[in-house]
Amino acid sequence: AMTDVLSAEDIKKAVGAFSAAESFNYKKFFEMVGLKKKSPEDVKKVFHILDKDRSGFIEEEELKFVLKGFTPEGRDLSDKETKALLAAGDKDGDGKIGAD
């Protein structure tokens, strides 16, 4: 579970901070949720939780529901927010984000 890696309180605050449509800022979110302070191993654990189809990648369709991956109360990202997050994480331009 996500709370095995991150604090439930941090998750609640971070998801709540971006509850308004079009407000999602991935840099601020990952900082607020505590990921920036985590080890590479812990970051990979979070990645694997978000990789719902276990493909080894997080595709655009999975990114849309990234906030729900942290808590069921999270909202879906808009297409614009999803594409911005994908562009930031997709270093090789293959349309998906790998664990590295």
Answer yes or no: is 78 a known binding residue: no
Answer yes or no: is 60 a known binding residue: no
Please name the residues in contact with 45: beta carbons below 8 A apart, sequence gap of 6 or more.
Answer: 4, 5
Answer yes or no: is 53 a known binding residue: yes
List Cα–Cα distances, 67 to 16, 50, 94, in angstroms. Answer: 10, 9, 23
Answer yes or no: is 38 a known binding residue: no
Answer yes or no: is 61 a known binding residue: no
Answer yes or no: is 92 a known binding residue: yes
Counting Cβ atoms within 10 Å, is residue 18 exposed (0-12), middle (13-18) or buried (19+)?
A: buried
Answer yes or no: is 62 a known binding residue: yes
Answer yes or no: is 55 a known binding residue: yes
Sequence ranges of the binding site for Ca(2+): 51, 53, 55, 57, 62, 90, 92, 94, 96
Sequence ranges of the binding site: 51, 53, 55, 57, 62, 90, 92, 94, 96
